[in-house]
Structure 1
Amino acid sequence: MSEKLQKVLARSGHGSRRELEAMIAAGRISVNGQIASLGERIDGDAKVRIDGREVAIKPPEDVVCRVLMYHKPEGEMCTRKDPEGRPTVYDRLPRVQGARWVAVGRLDVNTSGLLLFTTDGELANRLMHPGHQIEREYAVRVFGEVTDAMLRKLTKGVQLEDGPAAFKEVKRTGGAHSEGMNQWFRVVLTEGRNREVRRLWESQGVTVSRLMRVRYGNINLEQGLPQSGWGELPLSQINYLRELVGLPAEERTFIDPRKQESRQKRYARARRNQAKRLQNAKQRTRK
């Protein structure tokens, strides 16, 4: 049975559907020697090349869905390569054979917190689709006076340049008395438009001074996980995400319960990675 080219490539771990559609539009993908077109369908025996390099096409039964939790620090870019040489989130991820890590959404360079990565581009595409209304929760510190009237507007909805937007939920979490005009809130969104949290607050005349994503669906950023640290999700959490978006359950996992890395070891590894990142940043600054 033939399937859409971008769907097959996403499932085979060559990127998200959005990334692959951009590659097809740019003429970077060919099928059986011919430049591919958007919407093209292929069979399992098709010869597909990306940038001239033949890539593996995997049937569904050969694909094992893996998902990582990553604690992004401020200053890292959510791109595979940065022309200015700045560190990227992909620099810290473990290598994977026969696939590639696909980010589930992005965080801007000044935002920290939870990022999910998967080897299943179809899962990433569905998790990012606004139609699934998956909650994203952020801890946010804003500078400026915040009134109850503002909070009502933010939950009722305001008009941004790319359309109406609103928080599903806003909660004060303290900080007003100890930090002067800085106040902490928890906010929940069900979509992931560019800089949406910051723009919503800016619409009320206040500035976001810190922003951290702490939850995606019911996957919480693991307490104590150092910045630049990662951990592989167990099968139960992977299948929770797959069920959210209507995908069949995964039955296999790369986590061997007999050799599962302890939380302490994972944290120690993450701290070493963070120290290396800081050292490399200092070296680039000297240059």
Structure 2
Amino acid sequence: MSVKTQKTEKLQKVLARSGHGSRREIETLIEAGRISVDGKAATLGDRIEVKSSTKIRLDGRVLSIKEAEKEVCRVMAYYKPEGELCTRNDPEGRPTVFARLPRLTGARWIAVGRLDVNTSGLLLFTTDGELANRLMHPSREVEREYAVRVFGEVTDAIKRQLTMGIQLDDGPASFKTLTYKGGEGINQWYNVTLTEGRNREVRRLWEAVGIQVSRLIRVRYGDLDLPKGLPRGGWVELGLEQINYLRELVELDPEVVTKVAVPRDQRRLKANQIRRAVKRHSQVSERTGGTKRPSTRAGTKTGAKSSTKPVTKSRTRT
């Protein structure tokens, strides 16, 4: 069943958006008792839901208000490499996941959970804070799957411990599933799943049974797999069907539009990119002068060898 979340905004934000002054100016008017909402004096910090029936007055005069434009929910799959931090800024200047993401206007990317600095793999980002919070919350029990390479002998008794439950510092924990994937010697690969995202939980579970993790990759979140062919540090924006799968998973209303270009628009975009690239190449060639092919038209110097092969245009791969 879909659950609608009530959209409320700060009063000063609504009035500022509608052109009635800056937020600071409106806060001063509210503190002076000059603004009312539906007949009740407003107080600083009030939040309202903008409806057609909402009446906001300044000194008794009804103010026109604009409803907020609906923000399109966007979701991005990112292949986090090892060595990047899941933070916006690092005092030590280390690389962060947010540095690689495309810039947004009027919105920001929110990470759906975190991966520690030594873990790579699928990391989701969204512009919808409610979606991010619900996907991360343990009560939703959204599966996370990891490929993990371990160093040490994993006995049947250890496997039972890991799936039955182990007491960690922050409470009991276990793997929902644990599947052997092969390996060489005492370096073995397993796929494990959990339904929560506590700090370093996968590593701590293995360490609790005396097994060292040498590599950890998140390969799935919910039913969304790490996209095939996506390079480390690369990202891809999800389409409407995938976005609505995530929204349905956590009982949010579906989206009806998306920012992702449809195939026709993508082809047009690619063609424009190719034309710009050809134009830049031509401009560079004209400036340098040394990269032009010798002309075979009338006026070529006597004795110059002309090519017997037809000149063909180079094809730009798409």
**Aligned with residue 102 of structure 1, among 110, 132, 151:** 110
2:215 pairs with 1:210: yes
In structure 2, what is the equivalent of residue 111 of structure 1? 119
Equivalent position of 1:164 in the other structure:
172
The answer to whether structure 1 residue 251 and structure 2 residue 259 are counterparts is: no
- CA distance in 2 between counterparts of 1:245 and 1:32 reads 36
- Cα distance in 1 for partners of 2:245, 2:267 equals 22
Which residue is equivalent to 1:16? Answer: none
Q: CA deviation at 1:184?
A: 0.4
User: Which one of the candidate residues 154, 169, 193 is aligned to 1:146?
Assistant: 154
Contact kept, 8 Å, 2:8 with 2:47, in 1: the verdict is yes
8 A Cα contact 1:2 1:41, kept in partner:
no
Q: Check whether the contact 1:2–1:43 (CA below 8 A) recurs between aligned residues.
A: no
8 Å CA contact 1:2, 1:42 repeated in 2: no
Are the equivalent residues in 1 in contact too, given 2:75–2:126 (CA < 8 A)? Answer: yes
Distance 1:75 1:261 in 2: 35
Q: Could you say which residue in structure 1 is the equivalent of 2:226? A: 221
SS at match of 2:254: coil
TM-score (norm 1): 0.72
The CA deviation string for residues 23-78 of structure 1, in whole angstroms up to 9 with x for no partner, is: xxxxxxxx9479xxxxx761157xxxxxxxxxxx984x611000000000000000
Select which of 107, 130, 133 maps to 1:125: 133
Checking the alignment, whether the CA contact within 8 Å between 1:77 and 1:86 is kept in structure 2 is yes
What is the distance in 1 between the residues matched to 2:210 and 2:237? 40
How big is the shift at 1:99?
Answer: 0.2
Q: Equivalents in 2 of 1:219, 1:131: separation in Å?
A: 19
Secondary structure of 1:199 counterpart: helix
User: In structure 2, how many angstroms separate the alpha carbons of the residues matched to 1:138 and 1:106?
Assistant: 13
Q: How many residues align?
A: 220
3-state SS, counterpart of residue 260 of structure 1: helix
- Three-state SS of the structure 1 residue aligned to 2:265 is coil
Q: For 1:69, what is the secondary structure of its paired residue?
A: strand
Correspondences of 1:20-99 after superposition (within 5 Å): 32=27, 42-44=47-49, 59=68, 62-99=70-107
C-alpha distance 44-198 of structure 1, shift in aligned 2 (>3 A): same
RMSD over equivalenced CA pairs, Å: 2.6
Verify the 8 A CA contact 2:9 2:49 in the aligned structure 1: no
Deviations 1:107-147 (A, max 9, x none): 00000000000000110000000000000000000111110
Are the equivalent residues in 2 in contact too, given 1:113–1:221 (CA < 8 A)? yes
Evaluate the alpha carbon distance shift between residue 41 and residue 172 of structure 1 in structure 2; reply closer, same or farther with a 3 A threshold: farther
Residue 238 of structure 2 is matched in structure 1 by 233
Is 1:260 matched with 2:266? yes
- CA deviation digits over 1:208-232, x for unaligned, max 9? 1100000000000011100010000
Paired position in structure 2 for 1:53: none
TM-score when normalising by structure 2:
0.65
Contact 1:3–1:41 (CA under 8 A) maintained in structure 2: no
Q: Structure 2: how far apart are the matches of 1:224 and 1:98?
A: 31
